[in-house]
C-alpha cells in the first residue's frame, strides 16, 4: 500500500500533463484536435442504477407509495405498509395494487408473514371487528410465506370506510394461539386513488 501511495504523485503529474502532450498531435487534415473532444463527460451511473429499483415516493397516512423506477414519465406504484408486533418489531408486509376492470377482483394484495406460520389454518382479514374472510397461503420462500388475495369492490369500500383491519395468523409452534396484526387504514382512500393499475 505504501508503494502505491508513493507512486500517486508521479501518476498525477503524468495525468496532468497528458492533455498538453495530446495537443501536440495532429489530425489527418493537419490541425490539432480540440482538447474538449478528447474529454469524457461521464455517464449518470446513479440514474442508470436506479432503473428497476423500488423507492418510496411519498407517505400518505399509514401507507407508503412504493414505486419502481422506469424510463417512462410515470412510475408504477403500489400501496405498502409494514406491520409490527405492537412493540416495534416488524412481522408482516402488505402490498396492494389495482387490477384492470372487468373481473371479480378490483384490486389485489400480497401479504408476507413469518415462515413459522401454520399454513393449513390460513390467514384471515377483518375490518373494524367485522366478519373475517380467510385466504390460503400461496407459497413460502426464505423471506416468508405469501398470501395473494383478491379484493372485491365491497372489500375496497370497507377498507375506505374503515379505520383498522386485523390480519390474523396462527403460529406453527403454538397452534392453539393466534397472532393479530393491525393494518391501519388511515390514508387508504387517498393512497388507493394513486395506485397504478397492474398490467396483465
Q: Is 171 domain-assigned?
A: yes
**Residues 28 and 55 occupy one common structural domain:** no
Number of domains in the chain: 2
- Is pLDDT of 194 > 60? yes
Domain of residue 13: give its range. 2-38
- Is pLDDT of 100 > 80? yes
**Residues 65 and 21 occupy one common structural domain:** no
Distance CA 94, CA 83 (A): 8
Quick one: which H or E segment has residue 67?
Answer: strand 63-68
**Residues 8 and 64 occupy one common structural domain:** no
> Is 121 strand, coil or helix?
helix
**Residues 87 and 124 occupy one common structural domain:** yes
Give residue for cell 386485523.
166
Hey, how many other C-beta atoms are within 10 angstroms of the C-beta on 80? 19
Distance CA 168, CA 126 (A): 8
> Could you tell me the CATH number of the domain that includes residue 105?
2.60.40.1880
**Residues 59 and 75 occupy one common structural domain:** yes
Give residue for cell 374503515.
162
Determine the pLDDT at residue 157. Answer: 96
Hey, how many other C-beta atoms are within 10 angstroms of the C-beta on 79? 23
pTM beyond cutoff 0.75: no
* 162-186 mean pLDDT: 96
- Contact between 101 and 153 (Cβ < 8 Å): no
**Residues 27 and 81 occupy one common structural domain:** no
The β-bridge partners of 135 are 123
- Contact between 1 and 17 (Cβ < 8 Å): no
pLDDT tens digits along 60-95: 999 999 999 988 888 899 999 999 988 888 999 999
Amino acid at each position: 500500500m505504501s508503494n502505491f501511495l508513493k507512486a500517486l504523485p508521479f501518476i498525477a503529474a503524468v495525468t496532468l500533463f497528458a492533455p498538453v502532450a495530446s495537443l501536440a498531435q495532429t489530425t489527418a487534415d493537419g490541425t490539432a484536435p480540440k482538447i474538449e473532444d478528447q474529454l469524457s463527460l461521464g455517464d449518470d451511473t446513479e440514474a442508470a442504477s436506479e432503473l428497476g429499483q423500488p423507492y418510496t415516493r411519498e407517505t400518505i397516512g399509514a401507507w407508503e407509495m412504493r414505486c419502481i423506477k422506469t424510463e417512462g414519465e410515470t412510475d408504477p406504484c403500489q400501496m405498502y405498509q409494514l406491520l409490527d408486533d405492537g412493540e416495534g418489531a416488524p412481522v408482516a408486509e402488505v402490498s396492494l395494487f389495482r387490477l384492470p376492470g372487468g373481473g371479480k377482483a378490483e384490486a389485489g394484495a400480497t401479504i408476507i408473514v413469518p415462515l413459522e406460520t401454520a399454513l393449513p389454518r390460513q390467514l384471515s382479514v377483518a375490518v373494524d371487528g367485522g366478519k373475517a374472510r380467510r385466504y390460503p397461503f400461496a407459497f413460502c420462500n426464505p423471506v416468508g410465506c405469501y398470501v395473494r388475495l383478491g379484493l372485491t369492490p365491497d372489500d375496497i369500500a370497507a377498507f375506505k370506510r374503515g379505520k383498522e383491519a386485523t390480519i390474523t395468523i396462527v403460529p406453527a409452534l403454538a397452534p392453539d394461539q393466534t397472532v393479530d396484526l393491525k393494518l391501519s387504514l388511515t390514508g387508504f382512500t387517498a393512497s388507493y386513488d394513486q395506485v397504478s393499475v397492474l398490467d396483465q
